[in-house]
Amino acid sequence: MRLLGVALLLAAPAGWSESTQMEEVVVVADPHVRTFELSETLDIAPDSATILRKAPGASVVQNGPLTGIAQYRGMSRFRVSTQVNGMVISAGGPNWMDPPLSYAPAAHLESLLVYRGIASVSAGLETIGGAVKANTWQGDFSDGGIELDGRLRTGAQSVNGAVLYSAAAAVSNESHLVRVSGLSESADDADFKAGEILPSEYKRERFDVGYGYSRGAHTFRIDYGRSETGDTGTAALPMDIAYIDADLVNVAWQYDADDVQLLARVHTSDIEHGMSNYHLRSAPGNPAMWRMNYATGDNRGFALAASWRGWRIGLDGHDETHNSDISNPNNPMFFVTNFNDAERTLLGLYLERELTLSDRWMAELGVRFNHVSSDSDVVNATPAMMGMPPAVALRDTFNAADRKQTDNNIDWVAKLRYRYTDNVELYGGLSRKTRSPAYQERYLWLPLMATAGLADGRTYTGNIELDPEVAHEVELGFDWAGQRLLVSPRVFYKRVDDYIQGTASTNMAAVMFVQMMNNANGTNNPAPLEFNNVDAEFYGIDMDWSYQINTQWSVEGVVNFVRGERRDVDDDLYRVAAPNGFVGLHYTRPQWHVGVESFWTAGQSRTSQINGEPSSSGYALLNLQGDVTLAQGVRLGFGVDNVFDRNYADHLSGINRVRGNPDLATGERLPGYGRNFFARIDYSW
């Protein structure tokens, strides 16, 4: 992120949005969003979520090299609405080994848009914790005649022996466009200062093909993608990835005239996911504890939207169906029907209005209605079939319950901007946002760790009777944009009623089941938690800034501070980012650039007692990077991450769940990567 933006753009009226070409990550200046354009990044990191570290308010929950989950102002997972090319993709596995951003590989990413603060009601179906939109490279129609454009990328790095090969090309004229792209990336286990992280290898291949038709104000596109993830470690989770095979289809029509814009989109994704606790990590010594989980996730969605003269209206929906079956390769008779056609359907309607009240006052008002329904088929498992009393009680209670649930939720947003001077714009926002429970939170019937990436090492059961979360948020700030300096701070407070959080289980059958399994298998799992509604709050400040020293030198940075606390008891919320930020200094010439960046994180002592969350220490890292243009369209990027080979562990990276690693004890916080040399060559035409 060479510059946070161009000050003159932020000094323009709200709603203006342009981009400026720079050598690394470009941020498009819009007071409501931060958009990172990734065509010029330098490293070969495979996970798009890592880019969020440079967005104000954002962090990354890292459960594995391909398993980064967006966190915004302390909220993560389901609470941060994430779209990929306009598609809503619910993770195929119950533990979020394939979070939504994993379907937008960094090597194919064109831009990553992060809504700043309170997200507009048009930004997504459920945006209680913010909104992120990823767009991969799609190619462009030509202005005349037949054109061929595309890009090739290859690179490698030292810390894990990673290699990357990526290619994308499009043939087009004014009316037709055909594109194709492919990706192959892999790595071995990663090094840290004291040894290796086992397992942290990854392997992924991706293939996409698409067709577009344009005539006048009309544009039609149809795209198909095939993603295949192979052996990939997720040491913070109880299992590792054996495979994730996904087919994605996206069909969209757009009409774009001077005063009217229309959009119609339908999309689908079918995901098959296998994971185990024995094929990458050291297998349990007791053969009865070997586990394979086969999961599927089917997604269907649509969006209809219209905008004209400041008005936006839309109808959108998403349906997901999940299955998860656990087996033991050493015992063909063992099975757990973890989720059986667990379905969640969401239908939304919104109306939004942007107003220019005067030459100084601007406003945005929006309201959204969401109808959410969920259901599940009956479940079963070997312990219940064998007559284990607590398992029988859990199964029969779940199967006899009214599992069909319906919520009707209302969101609203009000934003106000005031042009105080030519350089200063004041901002205030108010909102009410809602979220209905995820299928894991409602339908996890047997105490297990299938918790969408919580990775706290606790077993959970769901609660069919959960109420929706309701959050009221206020944020205040300003944008100061001079000729050289840009500063954009925000302070916020979010009060959440019926926040869904694990609490000590009062279900004696669940407690007894965990005790009996500990006795039978020689394990020491703590007492189970149960998803319940509690009261919570989040508050803090985040800011991004940049300063253009002269035509060659520039400096930029981000500062984030957030607290997440329970309001009903004296405890902090689980896995909330510690205060953090970064500073980058860059020197740019026409044909080359060098830069130095420092990422820092304070220690986190405000941790969740109920989740048994350990505190963490602070750290600071120094990274070097540069690039040089070798020929027309050919660029070499290079750099060193963690220059001083610091031994550190990020608070959001989770706890090691893997036994048998001589370099890292079970229960120890997972360390960050050691010193890493990388290089990449890009060719675009």
Q: What is the mean pLDDT of residues 298-302?
A: 97
Predicted confidence at residue 144, as pLDDT, reads: 83
Residue 3 or 548, more confident: 548
- Reported pTM: 0.92
* CA distances (Å), origin 156, targets 43, 103, 500, 677: 9, 21, 42, 9
Question: What local confidence, expressed as pLDDT, does residue 34 receive?
Answer: 82
- Classify residue 213 by burial, with Cβ atoms within 10 Å: 0-12, 13-18, 19+: middle
Instruction: Quick: pLDDT tens for 413-427.
Output: 999 999 999 999 999
Q: How far apart are CA 109 and CA 113, in angstroms?
A: 11
State the virtual CA torsion across 443, 103, 116, 86 in degrees, nearest 10: -90
Going by pLDDT thresholds of 50, 70 and 90, the confidence category of residue 18 is: very low
For 42-81, how does the pLDDT look when each residue is reduced to its tens digit (9 = 90+)? 888 899 999 899 999 999 999 999 999 999 999 999 999 9
Comparing CA positions, the residue from 395, 336, 390, 290 lying closest to residue 94 is 336
Q: What is the pLDDT of residue 258?
A: 86
Amino acid at 322: H
Assigned CATH for 7-684: 2.40.170.20
Measuring CA to CA, which residue among 657, 650, 639 is closest to residue 45?
Answer: 639
Write down the pLDDT at residue 462: 97
Choice between 198 and 25, residue whose per-residue pLDDT is larger: 198
Instruction: Give which of 497, 479, 496, 495 is closest to 487, Cα–Cα.
Output: 479
Closest by alpha carbon to 125, among 97, 150, 157, 90?
Answer: 90
Segment 372-384 mean pLDDT: 97
**Is the distance from CB of 371 to CB of 406 less than 8 angstroms?**
yes
* Amino acid 40: pLDDT: 58
8 A C-beta contact, residue 588 and residue 23: yes
Average pLDDT over residues 591-602: 96
pLDDT above 90 covers a percentage of the chain that reads: 91
The pLDDT of residue 358 is 94
Spell out the residues 6+ positions from residue 426 whose beta carbon is closer than 8 angstroms to its own: 417, 418, 420, 477, 478
515-523 contacts, C-beta under 8 A, 24 or more apart: 516/388, 516/390, 520/288, 521/286, 521/288, 521/289, 522/286, 523/289
Q: Over the stretch 179-211, which tens digit does the pLDDT of each residue have?
A: 999 999 999 999 999 999 999 999 999 999 999
Instruction: Give the model confidence (pLDDT) of 116-161 as tens digits.
Output: 999 999 999 999 999 999 999 999 999 889 999 999 999 999 999 9
For the chain, how are helix, strand and coil distributed in percent, rounded to 5? 10, 55, 35
- Please, are residues 679 and 640 in contact by the beta-carbon 8 Å criterion? no
pLDDT at residue number 39 = 59
- Model confidence pLDDT, tens digit, residues 391-413: 999 999 999 999 999 999 999 99
| Residue with the two structure tokens 């312990």 | 383
Assess whether the previous peptide bond of 199 is cis (omega < 30° from 0).
yes
Instruction: Kindly list the domain boundaries of the chain, sorted by start residue.
Output: 7-684
Q: CB-hemisphere CA count at 13 Å for 342?
A: 29
- Helices 389-400 and 508-521, axial angle in degrees (round to 10): 140
Which of these, 463, 477, 469, lies nearest to 411 by C-alpha position? 469
Q: Which amino acid is at 236?
A: A
Name the β-bridge partners of 530: 461, 503
Q: What is the pLDDT of residue 24?
A: 37
pLDDT in the model for residue 35: 81
**Residue 25 scores a pLDDT above 80:** no
Q: Coil, strand, or helix at residue 356?
A: strand
Q: Determine the pLDDT at residue 9.
A: 29
Residue 211: which of 203, 221, 219 has the closest Cα? Answer: 221
Q: Is the pLDDT of residue 354 over 90?
A: yes
**108: exposed, middle or buried (Cβ count in 10 Å: 0-12, 13-18, 19+):** buried
Amino acid at 120: S
Kindly state the average pLDDT of the residues 346-363. Answer: 96
Tokens for 253? 């029509």
Mean pLDDT of the chain: 93
Where are the strands (E) in 277-310, listed by range? 292-308
User: What is the model's pLDDT at position 44?
Assistant: 87
| In the predicted structure, residue 26 carries a pLDDT above the cut 50 | no
| pLDDT (average), residues 275-304 | 96
pLDDT at residue 17 in the model: 31
Instruction: Please write the tens of the pLDDT for every residue from 455-514.
Output: 999 999 999 999 999 999 999 999 999 989 999 999 999 999 999 999 999 999 999 999
Q: Are the beta carbons of 470 and 434 closer than 8 angstroms?
A: yes
Is a pLDDT exceeding 80 seen at residue 441? yes
What pLDDT is stored for residue 522 in this prediction?
Answer: 83
CA proximity to 31, closest of 58, 47, 52, 13: 13
Answer whether residue 99 shows pLDDT above 60: yes
Residue 540 has pLDDT above 90, yes or no: yes
Which tokens go with 39? 């065509």
pLDDT computed for residue 2 by the predictor: 41
Residue 12: predicted pLDDT: 34
Query: Could you tell me how far CA 683 lies from the centroid of its own chain?
Result: 29
